[in-house]
Amino acid sequence: MPHRRSAKLATWQIWLLSLSGAGLWLTGGAWLLLHYFGQRQGEFGPEMSPLEPLTMKLHGLVLIPALLGIGGMFVAHIPKGWGHERQRVAGIALCLVFAVLIVSGYMLYYVGGEALRDWTSLIHWTIGIGLPAIFVWHYINGLRARRKRAR
Mind listing the pLDDT tens digit for each residue in 91-107?
899 999 999 999 999 99
pLDDT at residue 1, as a whole number:
43
> pLDDT for 63-102, tens place per residue?
999 999 999 898 888 998 888 888 888 889 999 999 999 9
16 Cβ partners below 8 Å, 6+ apart? 65, 68, 69
- Set out the domains of the chain in order of their start, with CATH numbers: 11-150 (1.20.120)
Average model confidence (pLDDT) across the chain: 90
pLDDT at residue 3, as a whole number:
47
Q: How far apart are CA 61 and CA 77, in angstroms?
A: 24
Q: What is the mean pLDDT of residues 34-45?
A: 90
Maximal C-alpha separation, the chain? 72
Q: Model confidence at 4, in pLDDT bands (50, 70, 90)?
A: low
Measured in residues, the chain has a length of 151
Where are the strands (E) in 4-147, listed by range? 40-42, 45-47
Given a cut of 90, whether residue 59 has pLDDT beyond it is yes
Q: What is the mean pLDDT of residues 24-31?
A: 97
pTM value?
A: 0.85
Given a cut of 50, whether residue 120 has pLDDT beyond it is yes
pLDDT at residue 41, as a whole number:
87
pLDDT at residue 5, as a whole number:
63
Work out whether the CA dihedral 100, 12, 139, 28 comes out positive or negative. Answer: negative
- Amino acid identity of residue 121, one-letter, is S
* b/e 7-42 (16+ beta carbons within 10 angstroms → b): bebeeebeebbeebbebbbebbebbbebbeebeeee
